[in-house]
Structures are given as structure tokens and as C-alpha cells.
Amino acid sequence: MALTVTMLATASGRPYTPSTPPTIDIWRVSDGVQVVTAGAMSQVGITSFFYYSFASGNYGISYVYTVTGEASLTPSERFKYGSIYQEVPDRIFANAVSNAGNTVNTFQTNLTGTVTNLYINSLLLFTTGLQAQTSPQQVTAFNTSTGFITVTPGLPLVPSAGDQFVLIDF
């Protein structure tokens, strides 16, 4: 099993791309053991989003973490705290699927689900392909029967088959 921590770097309340990637420390809550020490987070494209994935073992395990940024940031922006729980994923990875009906606002995915519009208000951020250099998109609709997702304000290009993205639920 793997868990991924995703964060948005900010400075003065605005997205910010630091000159060096933030680092993350992760502890298992049940016994206080530190399972990651100063792990370098990876930047998603040229955005202010960073992520760190780690092997976590079994479901049902809680973790706490701290993310440390550049010393030039204020203390409240230099350190971020949070917790993660294996059983409740708040990020979903999926891919664009080839379809003649795909546009810059609506495209078919390999997402499944039984609740129409399940992903509304999530942020969609491409992690591979040409779209990985673009800004996050807000999900405005999802159709369970077709797998089509609608985003705004719209991508600069129609996604290619296999382009991976992450949905971040806020």
C-alpha cells in the first residue's frame, strides 16, 4: 500500500514555488515511530503543488506529518501540519481516455463511480503529458455512465489518452 501527501505551497496566502522542494517528516500515530525523515517532496509540473508517496503497510493506520519549507518564509508558512489515514483517500489518480468527443472542458476518463457529480468542486491537476504544465482545474460535473468529467476554466489542449491526473478533494 502507498499513501501520497499532496500540498499547495503558499506565501502571503498566494501559491508560491520555492527554490528548493519542501521536505516532509511522517510519524505513525499508533506507536510514534517516525517512518519518513526529511523526505524530498516532488513538484507537480511547474505548479505550486508538491507530493510525497510512501509505502504505508495496511489499511486503517493513521499518520501525522510536518512539511518544512524555505527559511525565508514566515514561520506559519514554513511549517505545515496534517494527518492522513489509509482508509479515507482524499486524492484519486486517473487517466484521460481517447474519445472523439473530448474537448478542453469535457473529456472522458477511466474514473468509475455510482454517484453522479461525485467529484464536483475537486481540483484536477495533470501529473503527466503536456497538461502537466497547466494550472489546476475545478471539476464542475462528472457523468458516471460515460466517465466524462467537466472542468473550468478549461485546459489549453485536449488531453491525450493516458495522461494521468489527480483529483484533490477540498
* C-alpha to C-alpha distance for 102 and 108, rounded to whole angstroms: 6
Enclosing domain of residue 139: 91-168
- Residue 42, domain CATH: 2.60.40
Angle subtended at Cα 147 by Cα 122 and Cα 150, rounded to the nearest 5 degrees: 45
Instruction: Single out the residue in 60, 85, 110 at which a domain terminates.
Output: 85
Based on the domain organization, do 13 and 56 belong to the same domain? yes
Instruction: Single out the residue in 64, 85, 106 at which a domain terminates.
Output: 85
3-state secondary structure of 47: coil
For 89-116, how does the pLDDT look when each residue is reduced to its tens digit (9 = 90+)?
Answer: 457 889 999 999 999 999 999 988 767 6
Based on the domain organization, do 7 and 69 belong to the same domain? yes
pTM (predicted TM-score):
0.50
**Residue with grid cell 468509475, as numbered in its chain:** 112
For 126-161, how does the pLDDT look when each residue is reduced to its tens digit (9 = 90+)?
Answer: 988 888 878 889 999 999 889 999 999 999 999 999
Instruction: Single out the residue in 43, 58, 85 at which a domain terminates.
Output: 85
Based on the domain organization, do 41 and 113 belong to the same domain? no
Quote the cell numbers at residue 71: 527559511
* C-alpha to C-alpha distance for 54 and 88, rounded to whole angstroms: 16
Based on the domain organization, do 113 and 54 belong to the same domain? no
| Residue 67 reports pLDDT greater than 60 | yes
Nearest residue to 77 via CA among 68, 85, 64 = 68
Based on the domain organization, do 15 and 74 belong to the same domain? yes
